């Protein structure tokens, strides 16, 4: 097996399929599976990945990327969330969990102040989904969202 040049999975969310694959290959990370799926994002953009960004990886890790086919999913819900960021330069990450798939919806350093995010949650199934918010890598909030 090929040994990756990094120990954590990079974030390829929002990159084109081709750019994501080239980026991962440049770090000796092989993509094992590419899944096309319905998404409100433009066709060809990466909308999900396994393992999620920053997860530990090694030569045995199976890497999958999920690429938008440009078609709206069966179930979509816009979901707004707001919270206070207490200090400047806080790394804020919002992860959407749908079954065993984790999608990073937001991943940026933020100044102190109120953050309001509206997320477009896509799913092939109805029911309860989870939103997890991290500040500087520490989970600070977990919410359940129902996709009708």
What span, in angstroms and rounded, lies between the C-alpha atoms of 92 and 28? Answer: 28
Strand partners, 86: none
3-class SS of residue 146:
strand
Q: What is the pLDDT along the chain (148 residues), one digit of tens a residue?
A: 678 888 999 999 999 999 999 999 999 999 999 999 888 889 999 999 999 999 999 999 999 999 999 987 778 788 888 889 999 999 999 999 988 888 888 888 999 999 888 888 878 778 889 999 999 999 999 999 888 7
Contact status, residue 93 vs residue 133, Cβ threshold 8 Å: yes
- Quote the pTM value: 0.59
Q: What is the DSSP letter of 20?
A: H
């Amino acid at each position: 097996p090929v040994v990756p040049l990094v120990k954590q999975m990079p974030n390829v969310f929002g990159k084109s399929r081709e750019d994501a694959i080239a980026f991962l290959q440049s770090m000796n990370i092989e993509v094992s599976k590419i899944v096309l799926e319905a998404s409100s994002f433009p066709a060809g953009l990466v909308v999900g990945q396994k393992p999620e960004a920053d997860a530990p990886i090694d030569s045995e890790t199976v890497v999958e990327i999920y690429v938008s086919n440009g078609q709206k999913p069966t179930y979509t819900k816009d979901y707004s969330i707001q919270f206070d960021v207490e200090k400047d330069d806080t790394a804020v990450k919002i992860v959407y969990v749908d079954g065993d798939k984790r999608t990073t919806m937001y991943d940026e350093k933020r100044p102190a102040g109120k953050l309001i995010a509206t997320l477009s949650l896509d799913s092939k199934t109805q029911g309860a989904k989870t939103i997890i918010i991290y500040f500087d890598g520490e989970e600070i909030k977990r919410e359940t969202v129902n996709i009708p």
